[in-house]
Amino acid sequence: MNRTTTIMILAAMAVSAAATYHFTTSARVLPAAGAAEKDVEPAAKPLQIQGLMTQRAEAGPGWETLALTGRVAIPPERLVKVSPRIEGKVIDAYGTLGTPVRSGQTLAVISSVALAEARAQLRQAQGRLDACRRSLDQESRMVGLGAVADRQLEEARTATLVAQGALADAKGEVAQCHAEIARAESELTQCRRRLERARELFSDTILSRQDLETAEAEFRRDTATLDGARARLAGAEGSVERARSQADIADRFVGREEKLHKGKMLDTRALMTARSAVDAARLDTQAAEDRIRSMGADPKGSGDTMAVTAPITGRIVARQTNVGQMAEPSDELFAIADTSTVWVEADLFERDMGRVRLGQRAEVRFDSEPERVFAASVQSVGDMLNADSRTARVRLVLANAAGSLRSGMFANVSLLTARRGSTVLVPRQAVLDDAGKKVVYTPCMECPEDQKAGTNACGAYDRLEVTTGSLLGNRLEILSGVQPGTQVVVQGQLQIKSAMGSGQLKAGCTDH
């Protein structure tokens, strides 16, 4: 064999070996459907995955978990029912279910006759207070000018004259009564004599019975007249005593006022009376204002309308009122819930009760936000078991500042019951379900191009079957199939799975 032939054989063997190595160590893009074998390109470009991202599997602590199913509930102290404090007609209503409200925000406006009456009483009390204050100001000025003593002295003298006049009138009435008694006694004496004469004549049958009865009637009349005069005398004498007492009091009062006047002293009784009147009017005004406040209205307002306001900040979870309807204090117009903190109540089987304790950490997930993990803690464990299900109620507390959790939502609860040794953790989204198996995808780095570039240059990927454990936050525990430090695809793995399933992409370094 000559030298030229030998060189050609060696070259052909080298080309054949290189081609074989290239097609057996990396994934390739398949030819388009229906293309002839003679049209296949010997060096197809690798499949491009948009937004492809990878992360390293990490070693970390593992936890034993207890999975429960629960529901979101609103703590009773954070659920407030709103009712009017007085009866009235709803003339405005605001907000619908789910509307956020602030504490003090108006929910409805009510027109009330009772409120109108209360405001009218307040206006009257305020008017009396203003009048009493003006009177007090006047008395204060008079005291400052020294005019009180003169006025009091004149009033005392006038009262003395009135009392003396009343005493004189009473004495005159007594004298008149004495005269009437004397006249009545004289007439009664004459009448008694006539009656005795009539009885003698009647006994002698000279006078008829009718005349005798007339004489007896006249005697009874005169007797009654005398008794009446004596009674009036007794009354008049009592009036004299009372008038004399009033006169004595007036005389003493005049003497006191004259001493005050001579000594240039001031009598401030009128001033004190005015102050007492102001205090009484102020109390009446305060009572009227308090009554309006008890109705839930502002005393400074006017008219017959009042606002029904939100007592807490939260969301409207119930509305049972409309414009035009009558409302009473027993009616629930709105219900407002403060959902910044909520409960999750789950059922705990009897066999698992020893694994749960107060304050225990938990992770809660919801279908509405599958990528979000809510941190929670056990607030209470029920003391009684359900007789049918043999479960106790476990209550957890969750912060819900964003308000995304609603009452009645289903929750997946993971109670962290015990810590165990180191394990392998990967992002939750890296693990996919594939025909009932859990798999992850890793970039293949065994091609010469990959090793030279330090990246997955040829676009080949491995499919690794894994065994998963507990979900801790957004990281999933891998019990087998992946070692710490392994790069796993966390974004773009669905495109890789689809390409492998359709034959567009073949397995890379190893097919697991």
151 in any annotated domain: yes
| Predicted pLDDT of residue 21 | 41
Helix (H, G, I), strand (E, B) or coil at 20: helix
Determine contact, residues 257/153, Cβ cutoff 8 Å: yes
The pLDDT assigned to 397 comes to: 92
Residue 323 shares a structural domain with residue 343: no
Domain membership of residue 199 as a residue range: 147-265
Name the residue with higher pLDDT: 141 or 142.
Answer: 141
Query: CA-to-CA distance for 60 and 63, rounded, in angstroms?
Result: 10
* 200 falls within a domain: yes
Tokens encoding 153: 């002295």
Per-residue model confidence (pLDDT) at position 87: 92
Average pLDDT over all residues of the chain: 79
* DSSP 3-state percent helix, strand, coil across the chain (nearest 5): 45, 30, 30
Give 504's pLDDT tier (boundaries 50, 70, 90).
low
- 249 and 176 in one domain? yes
Q: How far apart are CA 284 and CA 382, in angstroms?
A: 54
**444-472 as b/e: b if 16+ CB within 10 A:** bbebebbeeeeebbbbbbbbbebebbbbb
Bridge partners of residue 419, in order along the sequence: 63
Residues 156 and 256 in one domain: yes
Q: 344 with 357, same domain?
A: yes
Three-class SS of 362-381:
EEEEECCEEEEEEEEEEEEE
Same domain, 251 and 326: no
**What's the token pair of residue 400?**
């819900």
Do 412 and 396 belong together in one domain? Answer: yes
DSSP state of 432: E
Tokens of 298: 């502002």
Residue 435 in any domain: the answer is no
What mean pLDDT do residues 480-499 have? 79
CA 75 to CA 413: how far, in whole Å? 18
At 409 the pLDDT is 92
* Residues 243 and 311 both lie in one domain: no
Distance of CA 403 to the CA centre of its chain: 17
| Total number of domains in the chain | 3
User: Do 178 and 233 form a contact (C-beta atoms < 8 A)?
Assistant: yes
Is 216 inside any structural domain?
yes
Q: Are residue 242 and residue 349 in the same domain, yes or no? A: no
In a domain, 416, yes or no: yes
Is residue 419 very low, low, confident or very high in pLDDT (cuts 50, 70, 90)? confident
Distance of CA 145 to the CA centre of its chain: 58
Token pair recorded at residue 408? 């009645």
CA–CA separation, 105 and 311 (whole Å): 8
Checking if the pLDDT of 173 tops 70, the result is yes
The enclosing domain of 151 has a CATH number of 1.10.287.620
Residue 209 lies inside a defined structural domain of this protein: yes
Across 111-125, 160-174, 408-422, 443-457, which has the greatest mean pLDDT? 111-125
Residue linked to tokens 């799975």: 497
| Contact (Cβ atoms closer than 8 angstroms) between residue 423 and residue 59 | yes
Helices (H) then strands (E): counts for the chain = 7, 20
Picking from 294, 312, 336, the residue at the C-terminal end of a domain is 336
Write out pLDDT tens, residues 255-287. Answer: 766 666 565 444 566 778 888 999 999 999 999
Same domain, 166 and 220: yes
User: 101: which strand partners?
Assistant: 314
CA 286 from centroid of its chain's CA atoms = 26
| CATH code (residue 406) | 2.40.30.170
pLDDT number for residue 458: 55
Mean pLDDT of 217-244: 83
* 278 belongs to a structural domain: no
Q: How far apart are CA 230 and CA 364, in angstroms?
A: 105
The CA radius of gyration of the chain, in Å to the nearest whole number, is 56
Q: Report d(CA 129, CA 135) in Å as an integer.
A: 10
Q: Do residues 329 and 358 both lie within one domain?
A: no
pLDDT at 225 over 90: no
Per-residue pLDDT of 328-363, as tens digits, reads 999 999 999 998 999 999 999 999 988 899 998 888
pTM of the model: 0.49
- The CA distance from 385 to 350, in Å, is 8
Count Cβ atoms below 10 Å from residue 340 Cβ, excluding itself: 13
* The two structure tokens encoding residue 97: 């279910």
Judge whether 489 lies within some domain: no
**Residue whose token pair is 């894994």:** 466
Q: CA torsion angle for 54, 56, 62, 64 (degrees, to 10)?
A: 20
- Taking only the tens place, the pLDDT of each residue in 21-74 is 443 333 333 333 344 444 444 444 556 667 778 878 777 777 778 889 999 999
Residues 357 and 309 in one domain: no
- Which of 370, 402, 420 is the C-terminal boundary of a domain? 420
**The pLDDT value given to residue 486:** 80
Higher pLDDT, 150 or 390: 390
Boundary-marking domain end, from 367, 395, 420: 420
* pLDDT confidence tier of residue 386, bands split at 50, 70 and 90: confident
351 and 309 assigned to the same domain: no
